[in-house]
Amino acid sequence: MAQPLIEARNLTKTYGSTTVVHNISLTIHRGETLGLVGESGSGKSTIARMLLRLVEPTSGSVLFDGIDVLAANKRDLRALRRRMQMVFQDPFAALNPRVRIRDIVAEPFKIQGGLSHAHIRQRTAELLHEVGLDPGILPRYPHEFSGGQRQRINIARALALKPEFIALDEPVSALDVSVGATVINLLRDLQRRHDLTYLFISHSMPLVRYLCRHGARPPGRNRPGPRSLRTPPRTLHPTPHSRHTPTAKPLATRSDQAYAVPPVRR
């Protein structure tokens, strides 16, 4: 099989004396969706952020298309940022209320530089169209939009630089079920259209299964089935009265090839 697009080995993150992610390894092949499921506080967002090096791992390694992400200098990292994007957990917090939609979606172009104003305007309108929004909303502000629409704006921004990989951090948890379903379908369509690779973080195994099965490259003869990785439950301050035994049972389902990860050691 071809080289994985993402290969993370033994990622660990420690804040002070607390280990929030312990020895997580994962691989994601091109066009595949890896589902990441786990309880609140089990380190899912931290794992995603470490893959993009938005959070510096305490130890471990991340290869993106064979490139050592943790050894990348500023320039390399800039190039990598075009290729790896993230849709953040809270669609409300992720959008600055004082910035117009136009400038939010165009932000990645401005950071990367090198495009004319006319080109940026055209690409920004195209991006809104891609996520099912009317480009007429470009002069407006985030507070005028619902959670689902905001999440579409976040997705448009993540797509701007034509990434190959997107970490989707609970993209629909804050949305009503029916609105969430339309966003999931959008993500599925975008994945097929652009051959995207996803890390999909969720609390919902059915959602993970759905997106994993209907991804850009549904499992074929030579490809693994939908996969998920479960982060172990953990409690921050266990006391003798609330003894908590971390369990990291694999989520074995019919078609999921599930991986158990070791419990966090405190």
Ligand X SMILES: Nc1ncnc2c1ncn2[C@@H]1O[C@H](COP(=O)(O)OP(=O)(O)OP(=O)(O)O)[C@@H](O)[C@H]1O
- The angle, 0 to 180 degrees and rounded to 10, between the axes of the packed helices 147-159 and 177-194 is 20
Give the contacts of 244 (CB within 8 A, at least 6 positions apart).
233, 234, 235, 238
Give the contacts of 253 (CB within 8 A, at least 6 positions apart).
205, 209
Helix residue spans in 30-146 (DSSP H): 44-51, 74-83, 101-112, 117-130
Residues 7-26 contacting ligand X, CB under 6 A: 15, 20
Among 22, 29, 44, 81, binds ligand X (CB under 6 A): 44
Among 31, 38, 108, 226, binds ligand X (CB under 6 A): 38
With CB atoms as reference, the residue minimizing the distance to Mg ion is 45
Neighbour tally for 50: CB within 10 Å = 24
Give the separation between CA 8 and CA 165, rounded to whole angstroms. Answer: 14
Among 7, 23, 41, 70, binds ligand X (CB under 6 A): 41
230 contributes a contact to ligand X by CB under 6 A: no
Residues in contact with Mg ion, shown as a per-residue x/- string from 83 to 112 under the rule CB under 5 A: ------x-----------------------
Give the separation between CA 85 and CA 232, rounded to whole angstroms. Answer: 25
Residues 62-91 contacting ligand X, CB under 6 A: 89
Among 12, 27, 33, 46, binds ligand X (CB under 6 A): 46
38: partner contacted, choices Mg ion, ligand X, none (Cβ within 5-8 A by kind): ligand X
- Number of helices (H) and strands (E) in the chain: give both, helices first: 7, 10
Give the separation between CA 252 and CA 100, rounded to whole angstroms. Answer: 45
42 contributes a contact to Mg ion by CB under 5 A: no
Least CB distance from residue 12 to ligand X, whole Å? 12
Give the separation between CA 53 and CA 22, rounded to whole angstroms. Answer: 16
92 contributes a contact to ligand X by CB under 6 A: no
Q: How far is CA 262 from the centre of its chain?
A: 22
43 contributes a contact to ligand X by CB under 6 A: yes
Among 45, 124, 151, 197, binds ligand X (CB under 6 A): 45
Count of residues engaged in binding Mg ion, rule: CB under 5 A: 3
46: partner contacted, choices ligand X, Mg ion, none (Cβ within 5-8 A by kind): ligand X
Residues 182-221 contacting ligand X, CB under 6 A: none
Neighbour tally for 25: CB within 10 Å = 14
45 contributes a contact to Mg ion by CB under 5 A: yes
Q: By three-state DSSP, how is residue 234 classified?
A: coil
Q: By three-state DSSP, how is residue 238 classified?
A: coil
Among 2, 118, 236, 252, binds ligand X (CB under 6 A): 236
Residue 41 or 132 with smaller CB distance to ligand X: 41
Residues that bind Mg ion (CB under 5 A): 44-45, 89
The residues that touch ligand X, with contacts defined as CB under 6 A, are 15, 20, 38, 40-46, 89, 236
